[in-house]
Structure 1
């Protein structure tokens, strides 16, 4: 079953690469008492993710924060080393959280996983964005086509705020 608006996010622990190594970030750490934009991508460094989805959120970071968002995070079913490298390469390090759902447990709990084994990628996340307030999903935008970042993009999120 796919998570829906009004649902509380399941408890999970992510990994985030820092200069001191990987740290654990729980859903409570990230969402409790805050308004957070979470967007997910099928894979770090993949074309649509790197050229469209992530850049939109980096370019609109300040506008999102000005509209009351406390934090922004991107999530992928990649290891924390890949997510850390993507944060550095993209210029997003220190601006948004780059979260590793390394085993896809959170993605599967949301019902937003997909099997890209035929493309050599294995289990991955669908492309989506959500606005979460104190752990509760307030909006959810799932892309029908993983190669597009329109309904889940930063411009669409700004309109929802």
Structure 2
């Protein structure tokens, strides 16, 4: 079942690379905070690297001005997410979350089977806005599209 507006973010553990790989829970990410979480099918993939992440990097200040934190998630490991962040000049405060086993993607009901492309289980392309762990906006892309989960679209939904 896919998460809906009004639902709480489910409990899951992700990873970040700081001083080694560190676990971080959805409670730590979302509780008491306003967060836009956007997810990409894979780090270093064409649309994700050319449009999706760069849009959030470019608009990062606009989210901060609204008191909203930003997190990027992919079904990749923490080392790949750190390398991708460096490659894309991601601000230190933009969370780069590794959902290596697709635990959160599955808990949200937003996983996709990309085995036909040699990529295994991945996350659909989406963006959501949560306030204190409750989903207030959710935008899930149709397969192969990049429209509703962009930084501009999410900023517009926060207006």
State the TM-score, normalized to the length of structure 2: 0.96
Match of 1:126 in 2: 124
1:48 aligns with 2:47: yes
Hey, what does 1:158 align to over in structure 2?
Answer: 155
1:142-157 aligned within 5 A: 142-145=140-143, 147-157=144-154
Q: Where does 1:107-118 land on structure 2 (aligned, <5 Å)?
A: 107-118=105-116
Gaps of 5+ in 2: none
Task: Say whether residues 1:35 and 2:34 are aligned partners.
Answer: yes
Q: How does 1:95-114 map onto structure 2 within 5 Å?
A: 95-114=93-112
Asked if the contact 2:126/2:141 (under 8 Å) is kept, the reply is: yes
- The answer (yes or no) to whether the contact 1:141–1:152 under 8 Å persists in 2 is yes
Task: Find the residue that maps to 2:149 and give its secondary structure.
Answer: coil
1:65 Cα offset (Å): 1.2
Runs in 1 of length 4+ with deviation above 3 angstroms? none
Q: Which residue in 2 is equivalent to 1:11? A: 11
2: CA distance between counterparts of 1:55 and 1:8?
28
Aligned residues of 2:43 and 2:81 also touching (Cα < 8 A): yes
Structure 1 gaps of 5+ residues are: none
State the Cα deviation string for residues 53-111 of structure 1 (Å, max 9, x = none): 00000000001111221x11000101111111111111115131110111111111111
